[in-house]
């Protein structure tokens, strides 16, 4: 079936197809949304793993834990942003 594009300004669209078929919106189950949430969940897990390692070094008594403290300070807003994106979608 050949799809013919008509003039959108006059209320037209793609002839021969429903508008939902002509303009994909991530599929019927929202695969794009699921993939985005999986990616944000992976980002959160990565941040938490790095925080765990930084806290381990701080509590173990490293001689110079400045880098670990910087890691914790930077990761807190990043984790907040990632959780917010995970919830919102």
In-domain check, residue 58: yes
Domain that holds residue 58: 27-88
Q: Residue 27 has what pLDDT?
A: 54
Instruction: Please tell me which residue, 32 or 41, carries the higher pLDDT value.
Output: 41
Number of domains in the chain: 1
Is residue 7 a contact partner of residue 20, using CB atoms and an 8 Å limit? Answer: no
Would you place residue 36 in the very low, low, confident or very high pLDDT band (cuts 50, 70, 90)? Answer: confident
In-domain check, residue 64: yes
Look up residue 49 and give its two tokens.
Answer: 């793993």
Q: Residue 23 has what pLDDT?
A: 47
Q: Cα separation of 15 and 73, whole Å?
A: 55
Strand 4-5 to strand 14-15: parallel, antiparallel, or no bridges (unpaired)?
A: antiparallel
In-domain check, residue 8: no
In-domain check, residue 2: no
In-domain check, residue 22: no
Q: How many residues does the chain have?
A: 89
In-domain check, residue 66: yes
Would you place residue 34 in the very low, low, confident or very high pLDDT band (cuts 50, 70, 90)? Answer: confident
pLDDT surpassing 60 at residue 85: yes
In-domain check, residue 6: no
Look up residue 69 and give its two tokens.
Answer: 């403290």
| Count of beta carbons in the 10 Å neighbourhood of residue 6 | 11
């Amino acid at each position: 079936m050949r799809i013919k594009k008509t003039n959108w300004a006059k209320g037209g669209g793609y002839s021969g197809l429903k508008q939902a078929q002509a303009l994909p919106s991530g599929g019927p189950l929202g695969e794009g949304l699921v993939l985005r949430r999986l990616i944000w969940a992976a980002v959160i897990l990565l941040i938490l793993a790095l925080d765990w390692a930084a806290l381990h070094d701080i509590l173990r008594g490293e001689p110079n834990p400045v880098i670990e403290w910087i890691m914790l300070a930077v990761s807190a807003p990043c984790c907040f942003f990632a959780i917010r994106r995970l919830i919102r979608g």
